[in-house]
Amino acid sequence: MEDKAFLSGYVSIIGSPNVGKSTLLNSLIGQKISIVSRKAQTTRNTIIGILTRRHYQIIFLDTPGIHTPKNKLQQYMVDSAYEANRDVDLTLFMLDARIGLGERDEDIMKRLDMERTLFIINKTDLINEDELRDIKDALIEKGVRSKNIIPISALMGAGVAGLEDRIVTYLSEGPMYYPDDMITDKTERFIAGEIIREKALLNLNQEIPHGIGVEIERMEEGEGLVEIDALIICEKDSHKGIIIGKKGTMLKKIASESRYDLERLFGTKVFLSVFVKVKKDWRNSPSMLKELGYRKES
């Protein structure tokens, strides 16, 4: 009997902020590689997740939510999302079932190749059958074929295995682009910074977390431990005070939650020290954006 050909391909996950793109990536890969929070604009860079099975490899691109940019950081985020969608074999265009098809979604749809797009209605655990039918109808009215509409709950894992099977039908004969034990292109250093940013997002309110950047200043492996010095960058002195909190309680909380996740990530003890520094308007500073990895080397 002849061996089955190996299939591979690139699949982007795009959509408005907060619809659950990173949750889906983590669910497909089976490990947390992209940070998640209930706040919009959590993901800032395109994160690659690699899924390798016996007969195929899928390279997923989790992208920042598409929104109207108000500063250079946000412009970078939106550009990254559209760029990731170029030359892919398939686009997963994701909607939040509670919101349905928003105005911005219609603009995004105009830029998609309908033949190579699956429409993913996520968070179906939060709606009923009638509401789901209404969203499907709205999509069909826009010219989407009903077989290309896939309801899932990324958080609960419902429909995710079926989605993977559908994705495989869009792959073509090709190489294994990455080694089979590699699940992301991001370095441990990058993921460490993201984990700290996630804990800041979870613990801080209003505009503060959106103005935060995390720089890993030092990361060294010692005997049975990893030492990490991190810097949280924020935009205002008043923000710095809030991030540190009364008697340092907020910063301690962010650091200890981060350490917990980092120890699981590295499978070893972690010594983490986190400092806070103000850099006014860093989200519009080309040199700071570059330093934090939000701008291409030029």
193 binds, among ligand GTP, Mg ion, none (CB under 5 to 8 A by kind): none
Q: Which residues pair with 50 in a beta bridge?
A: 59
Q: Does 42 bind ligand GTP (CB under 6 A)?
A: yes
102 binds, options ligand GTP, Mg ion, none, Cβ within 5 to 8 A by partner type:
none
Tell me if 12 sits within 8 A of 65, measured CB to CB: no
Nearer to Mg ion, 9 or 49 (CB): 49
| 293 touches, from Mg ion, ligand GTP, none (C-beta below 5 to 8 Å by class) | none
Task: Classify residue 152 as exposed, middle or buried by CB count within 10 Å of its CB (0-12, 13-18, 19+).
Answer: buried
27-46: contacts with Mg ion (CB under 5 A): 42-43
Closer Cβ to ligand GTP, 5 or 40, answer by number? 40
Told to check if 41 binds ligand GTP by CB under 6 A, we report yes
Neighbours of 206 (CB within 10 A): 10
Q: Distance between CA atoms of 95 and 105, rounded to whole angstroms?
A: 8
Asked if 20 is part of the footprint of ligand GTP (rule: CB under 6 A), the reply reads yes
Tell me, rounded to whole angstroms, the distance of Cα 249 from its chain centroid: 28
Cα 188 → chain centroid: 16
Residue with smaller CB distance to Mg ion, 22 or 45: 22
Residue 40 interaction partner, one of ligand GTP, Mg ion, none, beta carbon < 5-8 Å per kind: ligand GTP
User: Which ranges of the chain would DSSP assign to H, the alpha helix?
Assistant: 21-29, 72-84, 103-110, 129-141, 160-168, 188-203, 237-244, 249-266, 286-291
First-to-last C-alpha distance (Å) of the chain: 51
203 binds ligand GTP (CB under 6 A): no
Total residues binding ligand GTP (CB under 6 A): 23
Question: Site for ligand GTP (CB under 6 A): which residue of 7, 21, 160, 208?
Answer: 21
Work out which of 52, 85, 91, 153 binds ligand GTP, going by CB under 6 A: 153
- Residue linked to tokens 């996520």: 122
| Lateral strand order in the sheet of 269-278 | 213-222, 225-234, 269-278
Q: Is 128 one of the binding residues for ligand GTP (CB under 6 A)?
A: no
Which of 40, 161, 176, 182: binder of ligand GTP (CB under 6 A)? 40
Of 22, 57, 153, 258, the one binding Mg ion (CB under 5 A) is 22
In the bound state with ligand GTP, the residue whose beta carbon lies nearer, of 102 and 245, is 102
Instruction: State the minimum distance, in angstroms, from the CB of residue 47 to ligand GTP.
Output: 9
Cβ atoms of residues 91 and 113 within 8 Å? yes
Question: Taking the mean position of all CA atoms in its chain, how far away is CA 177?
Answer: 21
Is there binding between residue 75 and ligand GTP (CB under 6 A)? no
The residues of the shown chain that bind ligand GTP, judged by CB under 6 A, are 17-23, 36-38, 40-43, 64-65, 122-123, 125-126, 153-155
